[in-house]
């Protein structure tokens, strides 16, 4: 006869991270009539603006957007650095990695490399290589047995366990715009042309307050520009921002974390009230914030059961839970040499970018791209680039762990001129999230034997010791007794008082 069990239902989401997929895009661009012919390409920079993402019906990932490119060049018969600004559109697919039943697709774009070559003095070809990181959320409906129904019969004994797991309660997204006027240093001349603009978004706080999600962060802005006299200047500034998202449906004790994606970027000379003001720049950025809300779930389940009145056959299933979730930061100070092949007089601009972190042999392997714009001893502009890998040790405990790492360069970049080139010193931080995956067997159903079925001869008196690694539950189940009954007849308060040499009297089940 089927044993009637009570069940508890749990609803949550699990995050699925898929293997990154590459994307290459390119564009030919004509030099405007107002600009001179190109004599030499100095450098190319770019930012990924991801505007579209889609999970197709056949389960593929689709990402689209633009690379905002800036080509720095020296014109013929003119002095000073000039820049071409244009968008390189892209649309690419990740084959066969998705699940059409999932939701909340997120794709993060990373620029792995960008370069430009001259086709003729009036035309250039720019090629950009991207890596795209897809993430999905899948809804989970978990039903576990927690007890027996009132009419299940007498004598049913339950071994209950309770575990805590950290799961996603949901995701909220919001697109927003940010605009700020940036005054130039009073001691310098006004800006005649903006050569390149870089923006790094850093979240600092994410909280659930009542029915609202409040996120805060900084925009780290770096602008390279040319003054009217031809001198190059840089403007670096951190701009705070905050946003409020709807957080209805979440408990206030939930945790949250925010990630940001760049949608569009524009920086131009002048302000809204004074478009010709060369001592002011206006930065306009569109961002999307994605807030993941986490909750702690206490999941109780039946690990085993039996009956003192009848035999029971149990159906078991495996329950996998993520436990011991932790977040920490690993930090490494890096020193790297960029060889220039010529003596360097001064460093104008530096850029450090980090790629996706992966755990390999107890170390986080992080690809890093370094770039320097400099003047050599002949006052000639040059650019030095290098790609290398940074290793950050991480001592992981044994067992099955889900590990995710995201790397950043947050801190001052120090550039020292050496006879060989430019030595860069900078910190790399890897934000690490770990979750231990544990599996438990739990009862999913059961059937009881007919109570009139013969049990066979039963000894009138049972005396035995507890074996090494044996539990009182196992002994009670073997003889269809109860743990409470065994403790009572042996005048013990709890199981911890049982010593290896203790002879236990096992009461017979009636």
Assess contact for 503 and 464: CB atoms under 8 A: yes
Query: For residue 373, what are the β-bridge partners?
Result: 349, 383
pLDDT tens track for 312-359: 888 999 999 998 888 899 999 999 999 999 999 999 999 999 999 998
pLDDT of residue 454: 53
Distance from C-alpha of 329 to C-alpha of 370, rounded to nearest angstrom: 22
Ranges of beta strands (E only) in 101-231 are 103-120, 123-148, 156-183, 191-209, 212-227
Provide CB contacts within 8 A for 496, sequence distance 6+.
none
Assess contact for 106 and 53: CB atoms under 8 A: yes
How many CB atoms within 10 Å of residue 375?
A: 15
Query: For residue 393, what are the β-bridge partners?
Result: 363
| pTM > 0.85: yes or no | yes
pLDDT of residue 399: 60
- Beta strand 191-209 with 212-227: parallel, antiparallel or unpaired? antiparallel
Q: Which helix (H) or strand (E) holds 153?
A: none
Question: What are the CB-based long-range contacts (under 8 Å, 24+) for 183-190?
Answer: 183/279, 183/280, 184/233, 184/235, 184/279, 184/280, 184/281, 185/233, 185/235, 186/279, 188/227, 188/231, 188/233, 189/227, 189/228, 189/229, 189/231, 189/278, 190/227, 190/228, 190/269, 190/277, 190/278, 190/279
Helix (H, G, I), strand (E, B) or coil at 250: coil
pLDDT of residue 83: 94
Assess contact for 27 and 128: CB atoms under 8 A: no
How many CB atoms within 10 Å of residue 432?
A: 21
How many CB atoms within 10 Å of residue 152?
A: 19
Segments of the chain scoring below 70 in pLDDT: 96-101, 152-153, 396-399, 450-460, 509-510
Distance from C-alpha of 487 to C-alpha of 380, rounded to nearest angstrom: 89
- Beta strand 82-94 with 61-75: parallel, antiparallel or unpaired? antiparallel
Assess contact for 14 and 135: CB atoms under 8 A: no
pLDDT of residue 461: 76
């Amino acid at each position: 006869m089927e044993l009637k069990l009570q069940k508890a239902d749990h609803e949550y989401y699990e995050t699925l991270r898929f293997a990154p997929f590459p994307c290459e895009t390119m564009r030919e661009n004509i030099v405007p009539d107002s600009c001179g012919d190109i004599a030499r390409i100095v450098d190319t920079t770019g930012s990924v603006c991801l505007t579209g993402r889609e999970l197709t019906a056949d389960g593929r990932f689709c990402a689209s957007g633009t690379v905002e490119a800036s080509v720095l060049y020296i014109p013929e018969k003119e002095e000073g650095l000039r820049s071409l600004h244009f968008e390189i559109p892209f649309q690419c697919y990740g084959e066969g990695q998705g699940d059409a039943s999932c939701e909340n697709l997120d794709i993060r774009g990373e620029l792995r490399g960008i370069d430009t070559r001259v086709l003729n003095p009036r035309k250039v070809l720019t090629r950009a290589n991207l890596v795209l990181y897809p993430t999905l959320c899948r809804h989970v409906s978990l039903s576990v047995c927690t007890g027996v129904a009132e009419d299940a019969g007498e004598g049913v004994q339950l071994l209950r366990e309770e575990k805590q797991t950290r799961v996603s309660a949901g995701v909220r997204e919001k697109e927003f715009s940010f605009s700020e006027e940036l005054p130039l240093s009073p001691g310098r001349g006004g800006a005649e042309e903006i050569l390149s603009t870089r923006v790094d978004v850093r979240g600092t706080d994410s909280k659930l307050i009542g029915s609202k999600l409040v996120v805060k962060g900084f925009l780290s802005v770096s602008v390279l520009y040319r003054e009217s006299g031809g001198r190059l200047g840089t403007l670096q500034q951190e701009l705070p921002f905050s946003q409020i998202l709807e957080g209805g449906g979440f408990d206030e004790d939930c945790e949250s974390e925010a990630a940001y994606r760049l949608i569009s970027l524009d920086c131009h000379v002048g302000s809204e009230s004074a478009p010709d003001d060369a001592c002011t720049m206006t930065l306009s950025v569109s961002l999307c914030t994605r807030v993941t809300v986490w909750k702690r779930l206490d999941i109780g389940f039946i690990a085993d059961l039996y009956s003192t009145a009848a035999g029971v056959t149990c159906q078991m299933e495996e329950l996998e839970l993520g436990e011991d979730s932790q977040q920490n930061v690993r930090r490494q100070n890096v020193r790297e040499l960029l060889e220039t092949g010529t003596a360097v007089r001064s460093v104008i601009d530096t850029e450090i970018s980090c790629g996706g972190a992966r755990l390999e042999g107890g170390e986080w392997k992080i690809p890093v791209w370094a770039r320097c714009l400099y003047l050599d001893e002949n006052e000639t502009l040059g650019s030095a680039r290098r790609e290398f890998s940074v290793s950050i040790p991480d001592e992981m405990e044994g067992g099955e762990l889900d590990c995710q790492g995201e790397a950043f360069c947050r801190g001052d970049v120090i550039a020292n001129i050496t006879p060989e080139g430019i030595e860069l010193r900078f910190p790399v931080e890897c934000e690490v999230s770990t979750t231990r995956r544990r599996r438990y067997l739990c009862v999913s159903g059961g059937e009881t034997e007919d109570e009139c079925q013969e049990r066979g001869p039963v000894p009138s008196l049972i005396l035995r010791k507890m074996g090494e690694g044996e539990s009182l539950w196992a002994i009670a189940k073997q003889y269809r007794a109860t743990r409470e009954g065994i403790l009572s007849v042996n005048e013990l308060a709890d199981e911890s008082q049982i010593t290896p040499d203790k002879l236990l009297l096992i009461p017979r089940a009636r």
